[in-house]
Every structure is written in structure tokens, then in C-alpha cells.
Chains A and B, each alone.
Chain A
């Protein structure tokens, strides 16, 4: 089945048909994300940074196309759509630069009172289910996806229900980049239908509720408790503001390692 991608500026005109994902597609996407996790999380931080930076370069190469799509999807003027695309590219670059720095900022060595060398480092949580923001079709999407990938997670993303086209084009960019298959999986369709399956899936480790309707949050959180998913609910969603660290902190575990010191 296909759903129509709507443009609020001209709801009568459909820019394209988007695929409508089902529960089965959610399960397949999770499986793909899980199999990609070992490779992506095991890659060096430098390598992940290089791969993500290359994605930003490719995005820049298709700047005009994205600006058209964002203008159509969000009903923006051409100039504001271009600004949104530029901000999305900058945001991707920003997170590409975090891959090999986040550990240095949040990791510690712990001066324990004994002959041990003890350190605590962030490690990726695993497979992250992301409900992309409904309003900001590219900048918002990039702002939620890039930090998940930068910290070494793999993702299953449900695109903005009514504005999926920039997201689909982003996946075309990713497909021609060096990002390994399965690291990012994007589904289009009805968020309200797909989100419960993602929230309840036992092989998903964390859930970003950014794009969930506020009325649906409680049920999704409850479903997430089934396997103690980490659930992230953003406080503010001004996508043009500096992103801070909260999305980098959201999907990492802290690992503390002890090793004796002694001749």
C-alpha cells in the first residue's frame, strides 16, 4: 500500500507517493539494524567520523534538490528552505566531528582509593528506534538521526508521516555513501500505526519519541518498559538552536573497567 505525501501548501497536489510500511517492515528493519550493529559500533571513531563527514559532502552536492523538497514539504519560501538545508548539512558535520570527541568529553578515569586503574567510557546502546519529528522534514530528521549514528548506534527511523520525501532522498544519499547497509533503516508510513511495534520490539534498545503524538507517549513508554528501553523525550524542539549534548548522552551506556596496578 502507498500513502500520499502531502504538502500543506497545496494539499490537493501530491508531490509523490511514499511506501507505507507495515509491522513486518518494522521487524525486518530491526533485524537489519541489529546485524549492522557489531560492525558500526566496532568501527574506529575516526572511521565513523569519516563516513559521516562524507555523507555531509554528498548532501551538499544535492543541496538544490533538498531545498525544493523541503520547500514543498514544509511550505517554506525558497530562501528559508535553503537555510534549513544548509543548517541540516552543518548539523551533520557537527555530529560527524563528535564521533572521536564525545568519549573524551564524557569519559573519565576514576581515581579509586586502591591500586586499580579504573576508567568509565560511553558505549553505544544498540538499536535505537527513532520517531522523526513531524514538522521539520530534513533539519529535524538530521538532528535526531546524526547523534544516534555518531555515538555508534544503529537506527530504525520512522519518517515524518506527512513530509517523508526529504527523508527518502536522504536515504538515497546514504545508500551511495560509505555508510554500511543496515546502520540506518528508514520507514515511511503512519507513525501512529508503526510506533507501537517499534516500542514493543524486544530487540530495540532505545526509543526516541520526538515525533510521537503527545497523546501516544504514555502507551509507547509503557510498551518500552517490556525490555527496559531507554526512552528519550526531547524538552524543546527548536531545530535551529545549538543542539547541545543531550542527544549524544541519550543513547549511550557507561562502561566502567577495573584493572589492578602492581608489579
Chain B
């Protein structure tokens, strides 16, 4: 078939991203250099440097937290709630207006397909600001008692898989509730957060209400260890989440953690197979599988396992892997060399431990961080690829016979972020949902996100919710 139909390249122009040679961090309403040497952020699709980015030192973190405190006490916490809301509406509108620029910039810095940054990341980021803008003057109705109070200064540390979207998830509810923030984007994907800082500056937010400091783990650690923060919100690995929880053990700092996952995507024998195949593919290959709620464990009922795996193989063969800026691309680049090494290491462990590896025929670009979509069958629950979060485009297929067995296997993990259930029976979806120990359960769909819907984990996937009315609690003194 590929001999008949060929896709012509359809790349989005990188000019739209308006890349600058260097980016500064944003402290107390001003863009400034960091006190450490600037670092280069690179395009994971071809390993070329994109721009130079300021690197913070401990002093910058201290300045930012002090600025946030001054802004909180001097102005922001006293502002009428509706006025806070107006700033957020303005930010939301500006994100919409600069959506194309942000989408291309995100794909360049992260490696994700432009179709995803254009259709998912950026519109959802704007929608989050709109949603929480509306909450600012309605907190009395949010179910936390009359006149709930903000916490103060929030330190927020976000990952590289959805850079702008995670910034929106963190900043929007914090500001709506009356807090001020110090945000640290991931060191490999700082650019859209810094453009968001430009938007925030143009929206005339008072200095210090939002501060963006850039740097690696030491800067995150400096934020967590600073006694000037009243709240830490972290999205990232379970390993780092545990370190943060321990670090804060001796303080009363409020903490929310959104950590790793190893979601089960459970397919019953009565499921609509074609629809399930699309959901499985979306569940594990969306964003190259670099999603904390990715459906990385496929649990398929034994009687249809062969048929489903064959369908999956056919579907995977049609996935287009390549240039993230090409509008036809389904799977883009892995975000960093370190992440690629981890995906490779875990994949090799799958082969060594006896699972059967399969990938579609696929030509990968010569430069950049690439990994071919991969599926393992004959996976046992003891295999590392069934237990550890790979955070890459790798699917592990396991089977079950009865609903009880599906529940046992699905819950047999330290994580508990999300799960999927595929069946024609609504009653079965609800019964499974009530037995699955996971914060989000998708029925006959997967990877759905919305500002109104809470998101977060059970068990070692963290605690606290982001999104929805529930998401306000993380930023209120309740």
C-alpha cells in the first residue's frame, strides 16, 4: 500500500516559533540573567542547539521567593478576587493569540509532534487559564467553606513532557486562589515557560506574582529547601517526589505530588476492537509514551489476545515516526539523550527477561533522539517492563481470563495514576472503575484531559488533584 500512497512532507515553518538567541529568566517582573553560566537548550529531533537559556543559582531562587512574598503580602492577596480573575483571563487570551508560535516552539524544544502541541498542549493550556480565571471570584462556592484563604508563596516544579501545559496547570489555580508563585520549568524544555513569562509581563501582572527560574535539579532542590515557601507542587518522577516529601518532613509546607504511573489498559472480549486499538495506540504512543498516565500495560482478555495483537501490529505499521514539525507525524522524538538511554535500557531488560519484542518496520532519522514504537508480548508481571515506568513508546501486553484477575493484575503495581477499561457493558466499566486503585479511570477512551476534570494519583503516583473544583484545594488553606 505504501507504494501507492506516499505522504509528501508537510512541515510547519520553524520561523513561527520566533526563536531568540537567548532567553532570560523572570524574577520580580524583570527578565534577567542567572547567576550561573547560561546553558543551551537543544532540539531533540536533530540535536542542534536552539537557544541559550539563563541558569539560576541559589541566589536567584532566594530573590524569586522573596519577590513572591513581597507581591503576596503587598498586593496580590489584597486584590479583589474578580481583579485576580481578570489577569488570568488576559493571560488565557494571550496564549490563544500566540498559539501557533507556542505550538511550534513547544515542538522544537520538546520533540513532540506539532499536531499534539497545536491541538492538545496549547489549547488546553489556554483553557486552564480560562477555567481558573472564572473560579477566582467564586471560591465561596467551591465547597471549602466561606472565604477560603490562599496559602502564600507556592514553589512549583514541572516536568518536560508537557512544558507549557504543566505550567498552566500549576500557575492558573495558584493565582486564582490568591497565591504568588515561583515556577521552575524542566531544564530540557524551558522555552515556552519563558514565553509565558513574557505574556504574563505583557498582561501587567504586578512584579513578583509569577517568577520563572530556570535550571536543573539543584534549583528545584533550592526551592523545596527554602523556608520562604508555603506550598510545593511537584510533577515528575516518584523517586524525586519521595525526596521532596522527606525534605519537607520537618516543616508544615503544604505539598501536592503528581508522580509516575504504570497504567493498565484493560480490554474485555466484548470490546469494540477497532476502537480499542485506537485507544491503546493513543494510550501508549501519544507524546512518545512520555506521559505519566500512559497506558503502558495492556491487559487483554485471553480469548481475543491473538486477534487484538494482530490488529495492533497492523495499526502500528501505519504510524509515522519523524520530524516533529511535520503535520502528518504521529510519533516524534524522545526528549533527551538521558531519557532515550533509559528507554533503551528498560527495553533491553524486557528482551533479557524473556518477553517477545516487536516493532514495525520504520526508518528513523539519523540524528536526534529516536525510538521506534515497540510492543512486548509474553510479558509476565515480574518483568521490569511490567513494573517500572518506561516513559517511552513501549507497550507491554499481558493477558487475563476473568474480571477478578484483571483487577488483581491492574492493581498489582506501586503506582495508581490511571487506568482504562474497554467493554460494551456500561455496568462493567463502572464495576471495574470502582475496584481499580487509580485516580483517573477512562471507559472506552484514554488520555482525555480537561480543565474541569480532576487529575491525580493513588498510592505512589502522588497525592492531591489538579484540575476541576478539586484542584483549588491544593492552593487554599483548607
Contacts and interface: CB of A to CB of B under 8 A. Distances in A.
A104 B467 CA distance: 12
B134 A96 contact: yes
A49 B126 CA distance: 13
B428 A104 contact: no
A263 B428 contact: yes
A37 interface: no
Contact of B468 (A96, A98, A104, A117): A104
A261 interface: yes
A90 B452 contact: no
Contacts, number: 71
Max chain A C-beta neighbours (<10 A), residue from B130, B403, B432? B130
A93 interface: yes
Contacts of B452: 45-46, 100-101, 104
Given A93-B82, A94-B138, 7 more contacts: A46-B452, A49-B134, A93-B85, A97-B135, A97-B138, A101-B469, A259-B426
Interface in B19-61: none
Contacts of A49: 130, 134
B133 interface: yes
A151 to B, nearest CB: 14
Interface string A74-113: 0000000000000000100110111011001100000000
Max chain A C-beta neighbours (<10 A), residue from B89, B133, B134, B427? B134
Interface in B368-415: 403
B41 to A, nearest CB: 32
A258 B430 CA distance: 12
B137 A262 contact: no
B142 interface: yes
Contacts of A117: 430
A117 B441 CA distance: 15
Nearest to B142: A105
A82 B173 CA distance: 31
Contacts of B131: 46, 100-101
A192 B19 CA distance: 64
Given A53-B130, A93-B89, A261 B82 contact: no
* Contact-size category for B: 20 to 34
Contact of B427 (A45, A90, A101, A262): A262
A216 interface: no
A262 B431 contact: yes
Interface in A43-77: 45-46, 49-50, 53, 57
A34 B450 CA distance: 30
A260 interface: yes
Contacts of A225: none
A105 B85 contact: no
Contacts of B357: none
Nearest to B130: A49
Contacts of A245: 141
Contact of A263 (B134, B137, B141, B431): B431
A263 B434 contact: no
A115 B134 CA distance: 36
A97 B469 contact: no
B218 interface: no
A98 B127 contact: no
Contacts of A260: 426-427, 430
A45 B403 CA distance: 36
A263 B429 CA distance: 8
22 contacts: A46-B127, A46-B450, A49-B130, A57-B93, A93-B82, A93-B89, A94-B82, A94-B138, A96-B134, A97-B135, A98-B134, A101-B131, A105-B141, A105-B143, A115-B431, A117-B430, A259-B426, A259-B430, A260-B430, A261-B434, A262-B428, A262-B430
A32 B25 CA distance: 54
Contacts of B149: none
A101 B431 contact: no
A132 to B, nearest CB: 23
B93 to A, nearest CB: 8
A195 to B, nearest CB: 32
| Nearest 4 Cβ contacts at the A-B interface | A97-B134, A261-B430, A260-B427, A262-B427
A99 to B, nearest CB: 8
B428 A101 contact: no
Contact of B403 (A57, A98, A115, A263): A263
Contacts of B469: 101, 104-105
B472 to A, nearest CB: 10
Contacts of B427: 259-263
Contacts of A104: 452, 468-469
A105 B452 CA distance: 12
Contacts of A46: 127, 130-131, 450-452
A96 B86 CA distance: 12
A260 B133 CA distance: 37
A221 to B, nearest CB: 30
Interface string B137-169: 110011100000000000000000000000000
Nearest to B403: A263
Contacts of B86: 93
Contacts of A93: 82, 85-86, 89
Nearest to A117: B430
Nearest to B134: A97
A101 B469 CA distance: 8
Given A50-B130, A259-B427, A97 B137 contact: yes
A141 B378 CA distance: 67
Interface string B426-458: 111011101000000000000000111000000
A261 to B, nearest CB: 4
Nearest to B435: A263
Interface string B460-478: 0000000011000000000
